[in-house]
Chains A and B, each alone.
Chain A
Amino acid sequence: GAGVSQSPSNKVTEKGKDVELRCDPISGHTALYWYRQSLGQGLEFLIYFQGNSAPDKSGLPSDRFSAERTGGSVSTLTIQRTQQEDSAVYLCASSRDRGYSPLHFGNGTRLTVT
């Protein structure tokens, strides 16, 4: 079956612009996660959705970052007024349920802020 799909795969934007990153999880997966992978670092948790609700937004770096999920499916991560330090690979993952269900990752969106 289809895996987690993320778009765009690459995004180059100018500092100060807003960007939207999209994630289509595996059908039927109730849990959805956003992680950020910066060069030379591990994965940094950003936000977790259970259905359309986000019980934990604690990983969002600043109020410039926001995310939503609609219909228990597609999620959008929005970064407003992008800064150079926002440059990273943004990974989306979904799982059938939380906890021990393995995460299925998309290929990520590589964001470059110039």
Chain B
Amino acid sequence: AQSVTQLGSHVSVSEGALVLLRCNYSSSVPPYLFWYVQYPNQGLQLLLKYTTGATLVKGINGFEAEFKKSETSFHLTKPSAHMSDAAEYFCAVSEGSNDYKLSFGAGTTVTVRA
């Protein structure tokens, strides 16, 4: 079975500063990893995903994440925060392509200070 831990339930950053959201996972087989974003009163949207191949993946809105197998991590970063990045972010894992069930982390709420 897989599980996801997101470090920090709340992150506050200044506009223009680096955004770093931490995600660690456990999985018994090579994982597929995802980051989703949820804006207020909306459903979740896929930011980016890692399946196979290049370990640095780029997503929408300038976000990127790096899969580090040795650290079992998939941290999300954005070099320069924008006010519109204020949202809740969820890391998720599935056990490869044959698993239909995503396990989600508890989420990290990002606030951006002007």
Contact = CB atoms under 8 A, between A and B. Distances in A.
Interface residues of A, number: 26
Tier of interface size on chain B: 20 to 34
B82 interface: no
Contact of B101 (A4, A40, A48, A91): A48
Contacts of B94: 99-100
Interface stretch (A11-19, A63-71, A75-83, A105-113): A105-113
Contacts of A108: 43
B100 A48 contact: yes
Nearest to A102: B46
B49 A102 contact: yes
B25 interface: no
Contacts of B106: 40-42
Nearest to B45: A105
Contacts of B46: 102-104
Contacts of A3: 43
Interface string A29-46: 001010100001111010
Nearest to B95: A99
A42 B105 contact: yes
Contact of A103 (B41, B42, B102): B102
A25 to B, nearest CB: 12
Nearest to B96: A99
B100 A56 contact: yes
A16 B99 CA distance: 35
Nearest to B103: A45
Interface of B: 4, 9, 32, 34, 36, 41-46, 49, 51, 90, 92, 94, 96-107
Given A50-B100, A99-B32, 18 more contacts: A4-B43, A35-B104, A40-B9, A42-B90, A42-B106, A43-B92, A45-B102, A55-B100, A56-B100, A98-B99, A99-B96, A99-B98, A99-B99, A99-B100, A100-B49, A106-B43, A107-B41, A107-B43
